[in-house]
Structure 1
Amino acid sequence: MTAEVARPSSLATRETVVLVAALASIYVVSQFLRNSVGVIAPNLASELGLSASEIGLLSSVFFFSFAAAQIPLGVALDRYGPRLCMLVCAGIAIAGALLFAFAPSPLWLIAARVLMGLGSSAYLMAPLALYAKRYAPDRFATLVGLQLGLGTLGTLLATAPFAFAVALIGWRMSFVVIAGLVLAAAVLVTVVVRDDRQEASRARESLRDSLSGTLQAVRIPSFWPVFALQLGSYSSFVVVVGLWGGPYLTHIYGYSLTERGNMLFVAVLAQIVGAMLWGPTDRLLNSYKIPVLTGHLLTAAAFGLAAVVGVFSPAALLVWFLAIGLFPAVLPVLIAHGKSLFPPHLVGRGMTLMNIGTMGGVFVCQTVTGFIIDLFPPAGDGYALDAYRSVFAFQAGFILLACLAYSFSSDPRRNPRTWG
């Protein structure tokens, strides 16, 4: 076995700051692309005559293609290194953003979202693979929190700033600007990120061995319980901020484009702060499961409350959107739990497999909730209140079932395992 290279225990180094900044910059664009339908969903519905299920499909197909890319991405990360994967994906993401900007019909919009999903598929897992290789394990969750927290600035841009841009230059020209930002971020990654020398030798691993490693990863004890909660974790945030939050604010509360952008902005701010607050809790509590279950049970409670109440007072609505940002932000600790299950040579494949759950869960939830809303007759120019309440009830139940499955996982913080 190759001796492990000494890894820095401190994160307060110039090299780390520059690396995290570069990796977060391109993740910002990925986050914008995945959540960009939420603010403009009412615009797309009126301009192109899309139903709720069609809007759900338009948003969720991004996550389907993103999830579908994870297994080949995991193999590529372990064979060719994170840097090359990120640069190839940048070209695909640029093509998707430009196609969306000039799409003449809903079918072309869907094709563009597929390309966006494929192009964005590396911008969380590739950085996490770098962090896993270069830093001590007890710093991983903190780095994940930083990556998610800083990257969520992209989700922030998809709220009030995007609403302002749409009002100023339209949603099509806004996507042309985003394509330029992807290019700029890719150039930054090219300059800053360098793969380890060991990556070149790993590329000699045969494809058969790479696929065999994927099968090994899914057989790791506790893989499936952790995977189950990945399905419900990120989807809880995106099903509101990335899709139905905007229509809910417009149809039920009468919010304008700018007003709904501002409210979604609040949820994203809470997500950014929450990711950084939750990140170190695995070390503070010496447990992955305690903070993960706490955050997700609180998330289920928030959705359950919305399903029962339906319409909040202005102050309560603000608090609810804060909760939808803050509670699901425990995701960095869940990701760290998943990473801790795998030996070093399977980390890339293992984390990308877990990410299939993260993004696949969003695809399932956004698609299903679109069909749920279409079960109810329209109310005036929008969707009925009972339709939204049903969506919230569905998400609450989904999270609770996922938490039940997750409760059967082992906690490596409490019972560490060593790799021979």
Structure 2
Amino acid sequence: MTVDPAGTAQSAPSVSVPRPRRAAEAVLPPGGRAAWAAWAIGCSVYVLAVVHRTSLGVAGLDATARFGIGASALATFSILQVLVYAAMQIPVGLLVDRFGPRRVLLLGVLLMSGGQLAFALSTGYGPALVSRAVLGCGDAMTFISVLRVAARWFPPARNPLVAQLTGLVGTGGNLVTTVVLAQALHSQGWTRTFGTIAVAGTAVFALVALLLREGPPGTSVLPVEPVRRLSVRRQIRDSWREPGTRLGMWVHFTTAFPAAAFGLLWGLPYLVEGQGMTRAGAGGMLSLLVLSSMAFGLLFGRLVSRSAALRMPITLTVLGVTALGWAVTLAWSGGHPPPWLLVLLLVVMGSNGPASLIGLDYARSSNPAERMGTASGIANMGGFIGAMVTLLGIGVLLDLLSDGDGYSAHAYRLAFCFQFLPLAAGTGMILRLRRKTAAVPG
């Protein structure tokens, strides 16, 4: 995306019929306190979305007992939620481009709260599945909308840092899940815990409805010329044709899914059943993953804001270190790696989420503002598709390797080897597409 610092809309006031102004040609956003206030309100929705999204990660064992299901059926909860999330990314991007992020955020809060409340009251597997699908639909509307609010308030050079800060603050929702929700499940029970999360959405809805401003005074989030809006098909086609959009999708796919699959579902069972940890110990390890992600988010945000040339080196380094960490862990004799190695692995996986946001920066910098939401939606599908494939692959392998009396450390060890397939496929696509984007400005 090229931005004219001079602001072409202000350069020729004497012209009788001014040329329509593209969003990408607007005067640079001001930033400042008002920008941070708008961003913070948007982030409150994203934090809530992350709490909803990751709530099953600490309730997996409880869900198997409540619904009487095995590993494959348990994985279906997260797979369906992630599938809906990924499928909604392009429609959500189009909605944001057409109607603005505020309306989309409000709809997202309603869907998340309704889905979580239904999940809290469900006692059967089928209704619970439907409720997670509704929740995933609402979750899908949050992150892209927050990034669009930030893009209207902050100068383009600040966007990589703000995106990482958004991810960092959202990770705080994961911390709420691993620390607060995990304890509440045991002290308050299933219905009261998930019902409380659902009711919390009313406060966030009011905050957005009453206080969120989508852009600085005098600007419009909606297209300047409705009659010249691109068709949905052309909007998607033009976004997809940009090599940077496709590269962004594959960067997001490959960097995001290892930590996503671990945090969304399989982390707690792996640590408790596969490594013999207590629930409290496993929760502490998952909290370490969250804290590491926050630290890497700050680091990557500052690095990429200073130089777009660092995006690919960071991406490839994260992929290499993550693959090495899992290879050493799974190859450890007996399938029981020492605690220090598990700690190191979780610290390394903390880099996954922040690295995936580099994919969104590739999409943003390769597209004009009027299709930024659509391009971001395409890129943001990647990691969730990768997580969905991995969640299913691990679940199926665990059921195949089960001895009928739970899952052994050896079963987890073999099942988690599935991760190397999407890692290899995604890395290959990144290496192929980066040559096509070599001439694209950051």
Please report the TM-score for the alignment, with normalisation by the length of structure 1: 0.92
Change (3 A) 1:256 1:87: same
Alignment of 1:127-138 (within 5 A): 127-138=146-157
**Alignment map for 1:120-159 (pairs within 5 Å):** 120-159=139-178
Q: Which moved more, 1:137-146 or 1:255-264?
A: 255-264
Note if 1:402 corresponds to 2:426.
yes
Could you tell me whether the CA contact under 8 Å between 1:300 and 1:397 is conserved in 2? no
Displacement, 1:359?
1.9
Alignment correspondent of 1:198: 220
Say if 1:393 and 1:244 are closer, same or farther in 2 by CA, change over 3 A. Answer: same
In the alignment, residue 277 of structure 2 is paired with which amino acid? Y
The residue number in structure 1 matching 2:14 is none
Picking from 362, 371, 381, the partner of 2:396 is 371
Deviation of the 1:397 alpha carbon:
3.4
What is the identity, as a one-letter code, of the residue corresponding to 1:88?
A: L
Matched letter for residue 247 of structure 1 = P
Mark the CA change 1:69 to 1:203 in structure 2 (over 3 Å): closer, same or farther: farther
**Structure 1 residues 44, 311: closer, same or farther in 2, change over 3 A?**
same
DSSP 3-state at the match of 2:432: coil
Deviation at 1:8, TM superposition (A): 4.1
Structure 2 residue runs without a partner (length 5+): 1-19
2:371 is matched with 346
Q: How does 1:384-395 map to 2 (within 5 A)?
A: 384-395=408-419
**d(CA) in 2 for partners of 1:283, 1:326:** 17
1:74 to 93, 100, 113: 93
Aligned-partner Cα distance in 2 for 1:123–1:56: 23
CA drift of 1:127 comes to 1.0
Read off the aligned partner of 1:318 and give its amino acid letter.
V
Q: How does 1:255-404 map to 2 (within 5 A)?
A: 255-287=277-309, 288-309=311-332, 310-378=335-403, 380=405, 382-404=406-428
Give the CA deviation at 1:35: 1.3
Flag the 1:226–1:286 CA change in 2: closer, same or farther, 3 A. closer
Structure 1 distance, partners of 2:308, 2:247, is 20
Give how far 1:213 is off.
0.9
Aligned residues: 415
In structure 2, what is the Cα distance between the partners aligned to 1:158 and 1:378? Answer: 31
Question: Contact 1:141 / 1:336 at 8 angstroms: preserved in 2?
Answer: yes
1:300, CA displacement in angstroms? 1.7
- What is the correspondence of 1:168-183 to structure 2 with a 5 Å cutoff? 168-183=187-202
Measured after TM superposition, the shift of residue 416 of structure 1 is 4.4
Alignment of 1:160-175 (within 5 A): 160-175=179-194
Structure 1 residues 214-253: aligned runs within 5 Å:
214-253=236-275
Note if 1:7 corresponds to 2:28.
yes
CA contact (8 A) 2:285 2:343 kept: yes
| 1:47 and 2:71 are equivalent in the alignment | no
Native 8 Å contact 2:85 2:139 kept in 1: yes
> For residues 344-386 of structure 1, what are the alpha-carbon distances to aligned partners after superposition, in whole Å with 9 as ceiling and x for unaligned?
2111111011112222222222122211211102374x31223
Percent identity (aligned): 23
Q: What CA distance in whole angstroms lies between the structure 2 residues aligned with 1:205 and 1:251?
A: 59
Q: CA 1:100–1:207 in structure 2 vs 1: closer, same or farther (change >3 Å)?
A: farther
Task: Note the C-alpha offset of 1:26.
Answer: 1.0
**Cα distance in 2 between the residues matched to 1:67 and 1:24:** 20
Alpha-carbon displacement from aligned partner over 1:171-202 (angstroms, at most 9, x marks no partner): 22111111122221122122332234433455
Stretches of structure 1 lacking an aligned partner (at least 5 in a row):
none
- The structure whose Rg is larger is 2
- Out of 66, 76, 79, the residue aligned to residue 57 of structure 1 is 76
Structure 1 counterpart SS, 2:350: helix
Of 261-270 and 298-307, deviating more is 298-307
Q: CA RMSD in A?
A: 2.3
Give deviations 1:111-162, integer Å, cap 9, x for gaps. 1100100011111000112223332222111011000000111111111211
Letter in 1 for 2:165: L
TM-score w.r.t. length of structure 2: 0.88
User: Are 1:66 and 1:121, in contact at CA under 8 Å, matched by a contact in 2?
Assistant: yes
Match of 1:32 in 2: 51
What is the alpha-carbon distance in structure 2 between the residues aligned to residue 200 and residue 343 of structure 1?
14
Task: Tell me the alpha carbon deviations over residues 243-282 of structure 1, each in whole angstroms, 9 at most, x when there is no partner.
Answer: 1110011112332332222211111111122112112222
CA distance in 1 between partners of 2:87 and 2:135 (Å)? 13
How far apart in 2 are the matches of 1:325 and 1:388? Answer: 21
Change (3 A) 1:87 1:202: farther
8 Å Cα contact 1:341-1:412 kept in structure 2: no
SS at match of 2:263: helix
In 1, Cα distance between equivalents of 2:123 and 2:407: 26
Q: For residues 285 and 292 of structure 1, what CA distance do their matches in structure 2 show? A: 14
What does the per-residue CA deviation read over 1:192-228, in whole Å, with 9 as the maximum and x for residues that have no partner? 3223443345583588713311111111124334322
Per mean C-alpha deviation after superposition, the further-off stretch among 141-150 and 264-273 is 264-273
CA contact (8 A) 2:248 2:361 kept: no
Greater shift in the superposed pair: 89-98 or 328-337? 328-337
Hey, which bits of structure 1, 4+ residues long, moved more than 6 A? 411-414
For residues 401 and 71 of structure 1, what CA distance do their matches in structure 2 show? 23
AA matched with 1:302: G
